[in-house]
Structure 1
Amino acid sequence: MRAARAAFAEAGGGITLEEIAQRAGVGLATLYRHFPSKDRLVREVVEELMREEIEPAITRALAEQDPLRGMSVMLETVLTLASGQPGILATARDAGALTADVAPRFIQPLTQLMRNAQAAGQVRADLEPDDLKRMLVMLLSTLRPAEGPDEGWRRSLVLLLDALRPDGATPLPPATPPARC
């Protein structure tokens, strides 16, 4: 798993299972016994990232007294991972590993924090969960993976979080029906 994670982060989805087996120091047959397909291996890498990186960040975020800070913790974690390991996000997306059971594990707690921030008057009342998904995609699109780790997203995140504040907010047009995860 570690070899696959490093390979996908570095080389993206173009890396072969043969190369991953070689990096891991195992035979190709051993790799196939554990992961019958490349897509399955990518899904397992995503699950490992969820367990090791995302879920602890969700726990920290939900423990925050300040729900807007909690939202920031969650978004910072995902953006830090995506900027530091650019190939993993693209590989996961291409392999269909960002499935309907993975995305809600991040979006639901982020939505809970959004609702808590709305109740505390920290976030505009007309913000919808679908808006969060769109904002996450926008933030991820600011990354420049070809140039290596990029911290420019931090500026975009601060601007976005400031835009969520209710002070002086322009009313939003009606929300479109929510997108399916």
Structure 2
Amino acid sequence: MHMQGSQWSAAVTAEGNARALTAAHSGMRGGSAGRSAPLRVDAQRNLEHVLRAAREVFGELGYGAPMEDVARRARVGVGTVYRRFPSKDVLVRRIAEEETTRLTEQARAALGQENDPWAALSRFLRTSVASGAGRLLPPQVLRVGVDAEAEVGEARVPQQRQSSVPAQAAAQPELRLVERRPAAEEDRDDSGAAALLEVVGRLVERARAAGELRADVTVADVLLVIATAAPSLPDAQQQQAASTRLLDILLEGLRPRPAA
């Protein structure tokens, strides 16, 4: 299942009241997340546990999953999560930003280490799918992907994975975050997305120019492959087998059709 960016924002907004109550009980101080002082060893360990748990939980349930689920997976109190990330929005954007950077690095590695255009594109797709990146594709990447390819026609981009969200949030797709983020944060999000789309675009153009890729395949289609070929199944071995099989089928669908 998937979740559109607006629903994702609504799910984040729906966490607000719960966050405020949790913060009050845990004695959270609003400015703690912005401190630049080095973390103690135990605090650094807790941060790593929280980030790892957040990737797993959001990957399995979508960005609508509650912070309590992240805390349980990390085996820390929910107050510990909120001391490092004063809102769910902050944690989600941290994970999304890291995932965008990871995908960009994987694309650059494939572009720089594979001379054959098709080998470079398929390597990027296999590496990205194997890392589970498709389950954490950030909404801003998909939004920019739509904008960048609007002139080509209707972009086919993946929607976010969806977990159970409050009925009111699901019924109001136009909800937005009440507090607008600082322009600097929005610019950073967009610049990260733009960097990813630029390097993936180079992979696509090279493969297309070499006649190894269908002429109608776009960057949005490549993102769709990454999202589609990364199912979340309870059994790890079954998940890997299903992902590999599905990716093989999707890769074949990207190849040019032989002339009749």
Query: Structure 2 length normalisation: TM-score?
Result: 0.48
| Residue number in structure 2 paired with 1:168 | 259
| Residue number in structure 2 paired with 1:75 | 125
Contact kept in structure 1, 2:137 and 2:227, CA below 8 Å: no
1:120 deviation in Å?
Answer: 3.7
One-letter identity of the residue aligned with 2:223: L
User: Structure 1's 138 and 162: CA in aligned 2 closer, same or farther, altered over 3 A?
Assistant: same
User: Structure 1's 160 and 147: CA in aligned 2 closer, same or farther, altered over 3 A?
Assistant: farther
User: Structure 1's 147 and 160: CA in aligned 2 closer, same or farther, altered over 3 A?
Assistant: farther
| Residue number in structure 1 paired with 2:33 | none
What is the alpha-carbon distance in structure 1 between the residues aligned to residue 128 and residue 89 of structure 2? 21
1:156 deviation in Å?
Answer: 2.1
| Residue number in structure 1 paired with 2:246 | 153
Contact kept in structure 1, 2:121 and 2:203, CA below 8 Å: yes
1:136 aligns with 2:226: no
Contact kept in structure 1, 2:57 and 2:65, CA below 8 Å: yes
**Percent identical across equivalent pairs?**
30
What is the alpha-carbon distance in structure 2 between the residues aligned to residue 119 and residue 11 of structure 1? 38
What is the alpha-carbon distance in structure 2 between the residues aligned to residue 5 and residue 140 of structure 1? 15
- Describe the SS at the equivalent of 1:8: helix
One-letter identity of the residue aligned with 1:10: E
1:46 deviation in Å?
Answer: 2.0
Point out which structure has higher relative CO (alpha carbons under 8 A, 6+ apart): 2
| Residue number in structure 2 paired with 1:23 | 73
- Higher mean alpha-carbon deviation, 20-29 vs 1-10, is at 20-29
Partner deviation per Cα, 1:108-145 (whole Å, 9 max, x = no partner)? 11211222234444445x446xx231353266346554
Contact kept in structure 2, 1:117 and 1:123, CA below 8 Å: yes
Partner deviation per Cα, 1:30-61 (whole Å, 9 max, x = no partner)? 3223212212211111222334x423312321
Alignment coverage as a number of residue pairs: 160
1:65 deviation in Å?
Answer: 0.6
- Gapped regions of structure 2 (runs ≥ 5): 1-50, 141-159, 163-175, 177-188
| Residue number in structure 2 paired with 1:176 | none
Query: Structure 1 length normalisation: TM-score?
Result: 0.65
- Gapped regions of structure 1 (runs ≥ 5): 170-181
